[in-house]
Amino acid sequence: MNCYACANEATSQCKRCGRLYCDEHGDDLCAECLKPASALPSYTLYRGSLLALLVGSAFAIWLLVRPPGGSEVSSPAALGPGKPAAEEKQTPEVTAAPQLTRTGTPARGLTPTPSVAATPRAGTEYTVQEGDTLYGIAETFVPADEDVTSFVLQIVALNSLGDPSQLDAIVLRPGQVLNIP
């Protein structure tokens, strides 16, 4: 077998392209594969990359533009066989979103003690659980017509927790019982 570039006997085969070459026309790879032009990606690779970029951009724009609320079933055919039209609009299950502490870290979910009623009433006591924050507790018990921040200040004042202007310095301990206004 001869070298691809000359009439000499081939001593090696290129690991990249498989060409046979002699010692004059390559080392680990053949001389063609060692040329700088062969290091560039092919035209097909460029086209594929451009297509992937366009598809990804279109998908990102679709995610930004689509209406919020996910998928709502609007046609009876989409309900499937045997499903009544009354199931078309179901009430979504409400779950509590994680509350953020003043430091920006998510707080753990609030778990009131068994003594707390489902609808809080004036003069309620609350036992602090691990991960509770003042704002998280206040959001649980705040009346509909009141601001959460002012309710936090009321809790701080009622329980003598510290300086209301230094809310970041107030530390709640698990097991601590708070009076809720």
Q: For the segment 21-52, what is each residue's pLDDT rounded down to a tens digit?
A: 998 888 888 888 888 877 777 778 889 999 99
| Mean pLDDT (whole number) for 112-120 | 47
Please give the pLDDT value at position 116.
45
| Mean pLDDT (whole number) for 96-106 | 53
- C-alpha distances (whole Å) from 166 to each of 152, 156, 161, 170, 171 are 12, 10, 10, 7, 11
In this prediction, residue 101 has a pLDDT band, given cuts at 50, 70 and 90, of low
In this prediction, residue 66 has a pLDDT band, given cuts at 50, 70 and 90, of confident
Length reported for the chain: 181
Q: Lowest mean pLDDT: which of 3-17, 22-36, 93-107?
A: 93-107
Please give the pLDDT value at position 50.
92
- Is CATH 3.10.450.50 the classification given to domain 100-181? no
Looking at per-residue pLDDT, the higher value among 132 and 113 belongs to 132
Residue 117: pLDDT above 50? no
Say if residue 145 is exposed, middle or buried (CB neighbours under 10 Å; 0-12, 13-18, 19+).
exposed
Domain ranges of the chain: 1-43, 100-181
Residue 63: pLDDT above 50? yes
What mean pLDDT, rounded, does the chain reach?
Answer: 76
Residue 57: pLDDT above 70? yes
| Mean pLDDT (whole number) for 79-93 | 50
Please give the pLDDT value at position 82.
52
Q: Per-residue b/e over 129-142, b at no fewer than 16 CB within 10 Å?
A: bebbbbbbbbebbb
C-alpha to C-alpha distance for 158 and 37, rounded to whole angstroms? 77
pTM beyond 0.85: the answer is no
Residue 56: pLDDT above 90? yes
Write the pLDDT tens digit of every residue in 118-161: 444 557 889 999 988 888 898 888 888 888 888 899 999 888 88
